[in-house]
């Protein structure tokens, strides 16, 4: 994302959720699990998240990969002219592997590609793994590692930490955050630590991950080894490359070299100190270029530089395009790249307050800026008109086409096809080159029975009305107001043109009301008049505080909004006045009955109780008790309670390790015993010959994980995903009330997918 996905909780780790007994005898178990092939496509948005690295293969044209911080990896499909996701096979249990720390493509056997996978280094996260493929990422093998990785932590735009020896491609090196340098001699199948590599501390790291109240709070993070490069000309083919360069993220001596294929290491003499290296590249003549920042990025970078080193002479030269102190701005340099076809042609990206790309054709003696007066083509994703290029943590020149340059941002990739025009004083044209890349974090999706088939609430880029599922919405994101994150979205079941949403703006309080309503199906929006009152302590803390949960009655006349640290508040005049809901309900998500406008419901995950209001939210009373207490991560919210459309008092509760159903407005619940895990659920159009809606579920049924559909109110289930389409962490899902069988999946880091039964 273009931030660290604050209100989205978009970087949250999905953990195992533990529950206990039920309130009533289980329903009869389903006898068998059937399967139905589904065709899956992304709902087109394009981009939306932080692309942390781009890697070109140096020997096969048009072979290029990208990695993301929470959304896996992609390969460019030159024929289709779009990016192909490579990790949709990852299961929910392994969703930590969707944060890609580093990526390497083999220059000797281009079919081989490697991923260093692992999102977090905090204690709750699992260890990282090397994912390796011998068929361009179609199929993968996994090597577990004895340490963690931080694909979504500080320094994630640095790189590449993973490298393939260009002379003996059985050999790979991997730089880690806290465990030094590692080596494999069998195409990544097994790994051992390089004991001779110096132990280097980066304890001077002064850039902890910002605290996120109510979410995970990370300590100061170790960045460790950030780049590995081989000098392929230093030795013959089929023998390990003698000269290897490794960069460590420290402000002390940070660049190390081995001249004996990794047996011994020494710091380069005369190297600059005071900044952290983040990218290290060699040109075809052996010249080394290094970009530096005072901090590792991406949340901040207040100073930095670009240097070059000539191994033949041992001379270091400062070639910084613009020195931050000279212009009085806070920025560093996020990346540097060289032209494989033209030694001496270098590009470098500034990072933070100044976001510019500089190009030199004389090895850094002089530079010209490339983004000044540039032409920007937003046609592929119109929402990007409201974003400026930033977080440019990687920039690459196509090794087979010097005009083709790509750079990363916090929301995707920009590319130009006429880079050398800048040498003639001409302006460059940049295109948003993200077709197929879907890295948003959907926080809410709805499919009303009228109007657009889908509306979304997203982390970092607000949300959309999706009138065309196969094209990025031409109107862009929601406006008037526009939120950074839309955290909750709902429609009135019997008046579906009425839609409400709540969201947040980045930064301290601005006085803006964090909720909006539409009376025309999401075409236009108006902010609520005021927000509900909050306790003073909560009211004084609005930085990443969240916008809570919002719902609207079935007739569209009553809105219940629960802000964090507050209780449910009710308005019937779009926020001109608010009435506190009396009773014992704490700060919980409230949902509306789909038929009776006077009924609202809520589930207390800590107490295991269901609350019911029969007076349009004015008061709540306890209904079912002693349901499982749901512990674990906040994302998705444990205890996912839903009201079935068209049936008063019909409720379903996905409670992590169990699924429950109530037909009496929450007074009692029966457990669906065939369901072993229930992450989230939703409803779609009833099957032919039935009036009860199809029920969709993300979880595990009789030992099989994935997404399921029930056409008989949970008596039997059909698995609609397969082993190659697991989609890791499905946050929300909903069926389409107008198209039988269609389901929309909100997937953490992979955007929104829609599936239909596959045609024979």
Q: Which range has the worst mean pLDDT, 26-30, 118-122, 366-370, 624-628? A: 26-30
In the block, tokens 């996912």 appear at 640
pLDDT over 70 at 6, yes or no: no
Say yes or no: 563 and 619 in one domain: yes
Structural domain includes residue 549 = yes
Cα first-last separation, the chain: 39
Predicted local distance difference test score (pLDDT) of residue 215: 37
Cα separation, 700 vs 673, in Å, equals 11
Q: Give residue 638's pLDDT band: very low, low, confident or very high (50, 70, 90).
A: low
Say yes or no: 400 and 531 in one domain: no
Predicted local distance difference test score (pLDDT) of residue 200: 81
Q: Which of 231, 460, 711, 736 is catalytic?
A: 460
Structure token pair of residue 608: 């295991």
* Contacts for 756 with CB less than 8 Å, ≥ 6 apart: 38, 39, 739, 741, 742
Q: Which range has the worst mean pLDDT, 32-41, 205-214, 667-676? A: 205-214
| pLDDT, tens digit, 9 for 90 and up, residues 349-406 | 999 999 999 999 999 999 999 999 999 999 999 999 999 999 999 999 999 999 999 9
Predicted local distance difference test score (pLDDT) of residue 207: 45
| pLDDT, tens digit, 9 for 90 and up, residues 312-326 | 999 999 999 999 999
Give the whole-number percent of the chain exceeding pLDDT 70. 89
| pLDDT, tens digit, 9 for 90 and up, residues 450-470 | 999 999 999 999 999 999 999
Say yes or no: 374 and 350 in one domain: yes
What does DSSP assign to residue 741?
T
Say yes or no: 405 and 483 in one domain: no
Cα separation, 27 vs 715, in Å, equals 8
Predicted local distance difference test score (pLDDT) of residue 217: 40
Spatial CA neighbour of 488 closest among 526, 514, 468: 514
Number of domains into which the chain is organized: 2
Pair type for strands 429-432 and 375-377: parallel
Taking a C-beta distance cutoff of 8 angstroms, is the pair 6, 484 a contact?
yes
pLDDT over 80 at 706, yes or no: yes
Q: In what order do the strands lie in the sheet with 621-622?
A: 590-592, 600-604, 609-613, 621-622
Structure token pair of residue 359: 């190009």
Give the helix/strand (H/E) hosting 326: helix 324-327
Say yes or no: 383 and 517 in one domain: no
pLDDT over 60 at 537, yes or no: no
The per-residue b/e assignment along 591-602, b for 16 or more CB within 10 angstroms, e otherwise, is bbbbbbbbbbbb
Q: Average the pLDDT over 470-481 and give the result.
A: 95
Predicted local distance difference test score (pLDDT) of residue 566: 77
Give the whole-number percent of the chain exceeding pLDDT 90. 84
Q: Which of 69, 231, 339, 398 is catalytic?
A: 69
Cα separation, 754 vs 38, in Å, equals 10
Cα separation, 494 vs 642, in Å, equals 16
Give the 3-state secondary structure percentages of the chain, helix then strand then coil, rounded to 5. Answer: 5, 35, 60
Say yes or no: 584 and 562 in one domain: yes
Is the sign of the CA dihedral 470, 476, 481, 483 positive or negative? positive
* Contacts for 510 with CB less than 8 Å, ≥ 6 apart: none
Spatial CA neighbour of 749 closest among 303, 99, 180: 99
Q: How far is CA 685 from CA 445, 551, 553, 710, in A?
A: 16, 22, 21, 11
| Dihedral angle of Cα 416, 69, 292, 306, to the nearest 10 degrees | -10
CATH number at residue 229: 2.130.10.10
pLDDT over 80 at 633, yes or no: no
Predicted local distance difference test score (pLDDT) of residue 218: 40
Predicted local distance difference test score (pLDDT) of residue 540: 56
In the block, tokens 């926020």 appear at 575
Structural domain includes residue 225 = yes
* Residue after which a domain boundary falls, among 432, 463, 480: 432
CB atoms within 10 A of CB 572: 15
Q: Give residue 32's pLDDT band: very low, low, confident or very high (50, 70, 90).
A: low
Structural domain includes residue 9 = no
* Residue after which a domain boundary falls, among 405, 432, 459: 432
Max CA-CA distance within the chain?
Answer: 82
pLDDT over 60 at 539, yes or no: no
pLDDT over 90 at 605, yes or no: no
Say yes or no: 422 and 454 in one domain: no
DSSP per-residue letters across 488-544? EEEEETTEEEEEEEEEE-SSS--S--SEEEESSTTSS-EE-S-PPP--HHHHT--TT
Higher pLDDT, 510 or 207: 510
Cα separation, 499 vs 514, in Å, equals 14
The alpha carbons of the chain give a radius of gyration, in whole angstroms, of 27
Taking a C-beta distance cutoff of 8 angstroms, is the pair 438, 389 a contact?
no
Structural domain includes residue 18 = no
pLDDT over 50 at 10, yes or no: no
Structural domain includes residue 2 = no
Cα separation, 206 vs 187, in Å, equals 36
Say yes or no: 347 and 491 in one domain: no
Give the helix/strand (H/E) hosting 324: helix 324-327
Q: Is 625 exposed, middle or buried (0-12, 13-18, 19+ CB in 10 A)?
A: exposed
Structural domain includes residue 23 = no
pLDDT over 80 at 503, yes or no: yes
Structure token pair of residue 651: 């409720």
Mean pLDDT of the chain: 90
- 423 classed as catalytic: no
pLDDT over 70 at 535, yes or no: no
Say yes or no: 399 and 509 in one domain: no
Q: Average the pLDDT over 588-596 and give the result.
A: 95
pLDDT over 80 at 637, yes or no: no
pLDDT over 70 at 22, yes or no: no
Predicted local distance difference test score (pLDDT) of residue 21: 28
Predicted local distance difference test score (pLDDT) of residue 759: 86
Range of the domain at 150: 46-204+221-432
Across-strand partners of 752? 746
Taking a C-beta distance cutoff of 8 angstroms, is the pair 717, 708 a contact?
yes
Q: Give residue 271's pLDDT band: very low, low, confident or very high (50, 70, 90).
A: very high
Spatial CA neighbour of 620 closest among 645, 606, 608, 603: 603
3-state helix/strand/coil string of 200-240: CCCCCCCCCCCCCCCCCCCCCCCCCEEEEEECHHHCCCCCC
- 69 classed as catalytic: yes
Predicted local distance difference test score (pLDDT) of residue 617: 93
Structural domain includes residue 211 = no
Say yes or no: 578 and 693 in one domain: yes
Q: For 384, phi and psi rounded to 5 degrees?
A: -70, -10
Predicted local distance difference test score (pLDDT) of residue 541: 55
Q: How far is CA 699 from CA 154, 589, 659, 691, in A?
A: 32, 21, 9, 25
Taking a C-beta distance cutoff of 8 angstroms, is the pair 503, 483 a contact?
yes
CA atoms within 13 A on the CB side of 427: 8
Structural domain includes residue 213 = no
Q: Give residue 563's pLDDT band: very low, low, confident or very high (50, 70, 90).
A: confident
Say yes or no: 104 and 191 in one domain: yes
pLDDT over 90 at 71, yes or no: yes
| Dihedral angle of Cα 617, 618, 623, 628, to the nearest 10 degrees | 60
Taking a C-beta distance cutoff of 8 angstroms, is the pair 501, 528 a contact?
no
Say yes or no: 482 and 392 in one domain: no
Q: Average the pLDDT over 504-529 and give the result.
A: 87
Q: How far is CA 60 from CA 84, 106, 331, in A?
A: 18, 10, 35
* Residue after which a domain boundary falls, among 400, 432, 464: 432
């Amino acid at each position: 994302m273009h931030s660290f996905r604050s209100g989205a909780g978009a970087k949250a780790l999905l953990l195992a959720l533990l529950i206990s007994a039920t309130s009533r005898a289980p329903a009869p178990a389903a006898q068998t699990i059937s399967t139905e092939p589904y065709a899956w496509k992304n709902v087109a948005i394009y981009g939306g998240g932080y692309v942390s690295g781009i890697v070109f293969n140096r020997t096969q044209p048009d072979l290029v990969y990208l990695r993301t911080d929470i959304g896996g990896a992609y390969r460019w499909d030159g024929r289709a002219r779009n990016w192909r996701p490579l990790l949709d096979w990852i299961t929910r249990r392994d969703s930590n592997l969707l944060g890609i720390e580093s990526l390497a493509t083999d220059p000797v056997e281009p079919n081989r590609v490697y991923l260093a996978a692992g999102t977090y280094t905090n204690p709750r996260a699992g260890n990282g793994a090397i994912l390796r493929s011998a068929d361009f990422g179609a199929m993968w093998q996994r090597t577990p590692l004895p340490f963690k990785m931080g694909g979504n932590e500080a320094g994630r735009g640095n790189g590449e930490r993973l490298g393939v020896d260009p002379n003996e491609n059985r050999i790979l090196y991997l730089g880690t955050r806290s465990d030094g340098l590692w080596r494999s001699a069998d195409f990544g199948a097994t790994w051992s630590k390089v004991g001779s590599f110096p132990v280097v501390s980066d304890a001077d790291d002064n850039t902890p991950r910002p605290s996120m109240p109510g979410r995970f709070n990370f300590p100061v993070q170790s960045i460790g080894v950030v780049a590995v490069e081989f000098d392929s000309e230093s030795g013959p083919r089929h023998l390990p490359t003698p000269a290897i360069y490794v960069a460590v993220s420290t402000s002390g001596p940070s660049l190390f070299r081995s001249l004996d294929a990794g047996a011994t290491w020494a710091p380069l003499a005369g190297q600059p100190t005071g900044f952290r290296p983040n990218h290290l590249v060699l040109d075809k003549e052996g010249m080394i270029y290094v970009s530096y920042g005072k901090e590792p990025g991406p949340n901040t970078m207040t100073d930095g530089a670009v240097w070059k080193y000539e191994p033949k002479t041992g001379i270091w030269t400062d070639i910084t395009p613009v020195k931050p102190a000279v212009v009085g701005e806070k920025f560093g340099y996020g990346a540097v790249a060289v032209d494989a076809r033209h030694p001496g042609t270098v590009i470098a990206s500034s990072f933070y307050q100044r976001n510019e790309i500089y190009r030199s054709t004389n090895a850094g003696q002089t530079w010209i800026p490339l983004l000044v007066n540039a032409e920007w083509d937003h046609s592929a994703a119109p929402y990007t008109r409201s974003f400026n290029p930033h977080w440019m943590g990687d920039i690459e020149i196509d090794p087979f086409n010097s005009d083709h340059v790509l750079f990363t941002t916090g929301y995707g990739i920009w590319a130009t096809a006429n880079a050398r025009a800048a040498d003639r004083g001409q302006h460059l044209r940049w295109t948003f080159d993200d077709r197929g890349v879907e890295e948003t974090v959907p926080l809410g999706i709805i499919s009303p029975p009228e109007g657009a088939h889908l509306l979304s609430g997203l982390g970092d880029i607000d949300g959309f009305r999706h009138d065309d599922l196969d094209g990025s919405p031409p109107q862009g994101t929601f406006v008037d107001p526009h939120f950074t994150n839309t955290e909750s979205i709902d429609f009135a079941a019997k008046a579906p043109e009425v839609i409400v949403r709540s969201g947040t703006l980045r930064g301290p309080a601005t006085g803006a009301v964090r909720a909006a309503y539409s009376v025309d199906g999401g075409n236009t929006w108006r902010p609520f008049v005021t927000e509900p009152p909050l306790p003073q302590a909560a009211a004084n803390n609005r930085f990443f505080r969240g916008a809570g949960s919002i719902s609207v009655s079935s007739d569209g006349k009553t809105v219940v909004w629960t802000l964090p640290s507050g209780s449910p508040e009710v308005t019937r005049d779009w926020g001109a006045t608010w009435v506190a809901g009396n009773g014992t309900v704490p700060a919980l998500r409230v949902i509306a009955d789909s038929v009776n406008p006077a009924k609202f419901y809520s589930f207390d995950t800590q107490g295991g109780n269901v609350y019911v209001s029969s007076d349009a939210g004015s008061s709540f009373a306890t209904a079912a008790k002693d349901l499982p207490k749901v512990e674990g991560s906040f994302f998705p919210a444990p205890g996912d309670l839903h009201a079935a459309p068209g049936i008063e008092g019909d409720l379903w509760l996905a409670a992590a390790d169990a699924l429950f159903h109530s037909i009496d407005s929450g007074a009692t619940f029966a457990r669906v015993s065939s369901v072993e895990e229930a992450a989230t659920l939703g409803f779609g159009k009833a099957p032919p010959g039935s009036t009860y809606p199809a029920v969709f579920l993300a979880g595990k049924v009789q030992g099989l994980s994935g997404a399921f559909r029930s056409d008989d109110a949970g008596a039997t289930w059909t698995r609609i995903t397969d082993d190659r389409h697991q989609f890791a962490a499905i946050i929300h899902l909903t069926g389409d009330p107008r198209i039988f069988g269609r389901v929309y999946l909100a997937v953490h880091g992979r955007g929104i997918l829609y599936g239909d039964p596959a045609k024979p």
